[in-house]
Amino acid sequence: MDWEPVYLVTAKHCIGSLGDEFSMRINTKTGALVQQIGNPAWIFHDDSSVDLAVLEFVLPSNSDCVPYPFCTIPTGLTDENKYSRYGPGDLTYTVGLFRAHGGRARNIPLVHTGHIAAFSAGEKIEVEDDKMMDVYIVQCSAMPGASGSPVFARSTVRAMDDHTHDKRGGVIESSVVAGPFAYGGMSLLGVWRSSWELRQEDYVAGARIRYPAGYGSVVPGEKILEILDMPKVKDKRDKAMKKAQDAYRAKKKACIGGG
């Protein structure tokens, strides 16, 4: 039995004003369900520059969704961490919706590929509107409306030639442990925030033309863990888990005693 609660995670700038009704469209086994949440109790990071919003959430019984285990989110991803499983050049997959065809009967997710361009090296990065934020830089084409989408990364394993030599240094036996640029594990890198745009002052019919720079910002998944580890969030989760565990043990004991 799983006692851990489920959390909904999105970009903070997607939720509107605090206390506004929030609606979501969830895939179910028979179609899609639009669920309204009145006065949602959003949880934010202590650092206001972290563009994340977290909400404790109960999945409908007929949902066709699988919660992502937050215990597998990678941490310590920096340009200086040579022992990290992920680094610049590794593939990324942003999973969002395509505005032209989001799906009528149910959500149809679009998978957008790219790669990690750079980590922050411990510094905040300037995004649009001159804001300084903790983000990773991912290279891919513009994705309007994708804010809050999960971004996954797949690590790259370089080829390792395992061989032995004779007395003259010649190779006796050789075997490749991993193929060239073989794919390793995949984890949640973070949450898509926005695309950078080149600052051009071209206008057509009064509207500014937007020139995508080919790069986007991703809020690190590590920041999700920092929110979930905040004392007020962790204490509530621990109490809920203990209550559920106690109820399960009592029910199991009653079943054994009644058998």
Digit-coded pLDDT (tens) for 94-127: 998 877 777 788 888 888 899 999 887 677 888 8
The whole-angstrom separation of Cα 170 and Cα 164 is 8
**Which parts of the chain register pLDDT below 50?**
1, 158-162, 175-182, 259
- Decide: residue 170, CB within 10 A, 0-12 exposed, 13-18 middle, 19+ buried: exposed
> What is the structure's pLDDT at 89?
87
Q: Give the model's pLDDT for residue 179.
A: 43
CATH of 68-228, one of 2.40.10.10, 1.10.10.10, 2.60.120.330, 1.10.357.10: 2.40.10.10
Half-sphere exposure of 40 (CA within 13 A, CB side): 25
Read off the pTM. Answer: 0.79
Q: Which residues contact 235 (CB under 8 A, 6 or more apart)?
A: none
Residues 6+ apart with CB under 8 A from 258: none
Interacting residues of 127 by C-beta distance below 8 A, sequence separation 6+: 133, 135, 193, 194, 196, 217
Write the single-letter amino acid at 246. D
